[in-house]
Structure 1
Amino acid sequence: MVMAGAADEPLAQAFVKFCVEAGALKFGEFKTKAGRLSPYFFNAGLFDDGAKLGRLAAFYARALLDSGIAFDMIFGPAYKGIPLGAAVAIELARLGRNVPFAYNRKEAKDHGEGGTLVGAPLQGRVLIVDDVMSAGTAARESIALIRAAGATPSAVAIALDRQEKATEPGPDGVVRDVDHSAVQYVQRQLGLQVCSIAKLDDLLQYLSAQAGGEVAAHRDRVLAYRARYGVN
């Protein structure tokens, strides 16, 4: 049996540790979609074998079950959300919570069954499973698809909440920082619950608990980034 984390270790801390050991959470200098230079980068595509993906799904499932969020099925938005949603559905079924799963294509299929949606029919309360939320764009697209099918988007599950300001174009077309994060936008403006396995604050706690040297330098850079771009 694959455990999400040690019984006496908080889920978020166990997850951050797992991400670092798996190589999915890296430190250095990385350019984000918003054009910022981030001292860390989370890439769910690097959970690239069966064992890593299985353990990742265990973290999602445990976070979801602990959250108490109600949902009737899972939707995985293309592309990263597809394997994530499928893996989480499998893990939930293993734990006795079997729910339908569906995903979308980026381009509509013009043969066979056709359309953009694959899997179970979208109905009831739909949980969207993705890796991170940068601007909320993918969530808005998923919400539109779900509502168009007559279902109700109810929540979003993500691996890491970066807890940083989103960017939006102003009336003049210039993209600027805003005072809310993408997660806060989805919660406040779109009315969906958000379940994240870990947050940036959890990453900082992990770094602070490590020994000095290079790790301390990473912590200081992440702290500086949080001070500049972070939200409460």
Structure 2
Amino acid sequence: MSFNPQTFIQVALNNGVLKFGEFTLKSGRISPYFFNAGLLATGELLSVLADGYADTLAKHAGTDDLTIFGAAYKGIPFVASTAQSLYNNHQINAHWGYNRKEAKTHGEGGMLVGADLTGKSVWVIDDVMTAGTAMREVVGILDGVGAKVAGIIVALDRKEKGQGEKSAIQELGDELGVPVLALVSFDDIIEYVAKNGTDDEYQSMVQYRQEYGVE
């Protein structure tokens, strides 16, 4: 069964990962919804999310010698479960790894754990991209071992303007020259609200998109 954004939104709501209301973001914007990837803490949620990453990789990434990378910390369980989903559901035996927040000074040492990324083209998995700062740090880490980013997949694209008229995802994709894909977008959430939410929730979402959204 392929990943369905509407199904994931419903599961996320049922588990408190996605909430509607009034939330002040780090940017200072007042958002009518909030997505907390830190609460993706059940087997069901992780399985649904990993299957979504795996489906997207199977469609868009080369399956020969596929290497995937999770950005610490939230990306670590995501990349591990995605590797399992790729193998179980798509018969793709991907290599996977992740970074440490601080370099290990004993044992094998270094910033990276898992597959050897030297000279590899790597797909990076993450939860939500806001300004793209953390992802640029990951790109720098990969550059340091001679790896290059082949593409990026996030769970949610808020589709909000960054510094200019483009979103952080669009800006990063342009900067790196790679695809930056999302399992669920703001458009999927507003579609869900239109069908299942209240009129007030829908109007708040529409107003937010008019003020901060990008095409």
TM-score (norm 1): 0.85
Secondary structure of the 2:196 match is coil
- How many residue pairs align between the two structures? 211
Q: 1:38–1:225: 8 Å Cα contact kept in structure 2?
A: yes
Aligned equivalent of 1:70? 62
Q: 1 CA distance for matches of 2:130 and 2:169? A: 8
Q: 1 CA distance for matches of 2:79 and 2:207? A: 33
> Residues 26-175 of structure 1: matches in 2 within 5 Å?
26-66=19-59, 68-70=60-62, 72-95=66-89, 96-123=91-118, 124-167=120-163
Aligned equivalent of 1:228? 211
Structure 1: which amino acid aligns with 2:10? K
Runs (4+) of structure 1 moved beyond 4 Å? none
Task: List gaps (5 residues or longer) in structure 2.
Answer: none
Identity %: 44
1:117 Cα deviation (Å)?
0.7
Structure 2: which amino acid aligns with 1:225? Y
Task: Identify which of structures 1 and 2 has the higher relative contact order when contacts are C-alpha pairs closer than 8 Å and 6+ apart.
Answer: 1
1:4 Cα deviation (Å)?
5.2
Q: 2:123–2:151: 8 Å Cα contact kept in structure 1?
A: yes
Structure 2: which amino acid aligns with 1:181? S
Secondary structure of the 2:165 match is strand
Q: 2:161–2:214: 8 Å Cα contact kept in structure 1?
A: yes
Structure 1: which amino acid aligns with 2:146? G
TM-score (norm 2): 0.92
Q: 2 CA distance for matches of 1:33 and 1:131? A: 16
RMSD: 1.6
Task: List gaps (5 residues or longer) in structure 1.
Answer: 6-10, 168-177
Q: 1:15–1:197: 8 Å Cα contact kept in structure 2?
A: no
Aligned equivalent of 2:200? 217
Q: 2:18–2:33: 8 Å Cα contact kept in structure 1?
A: yes
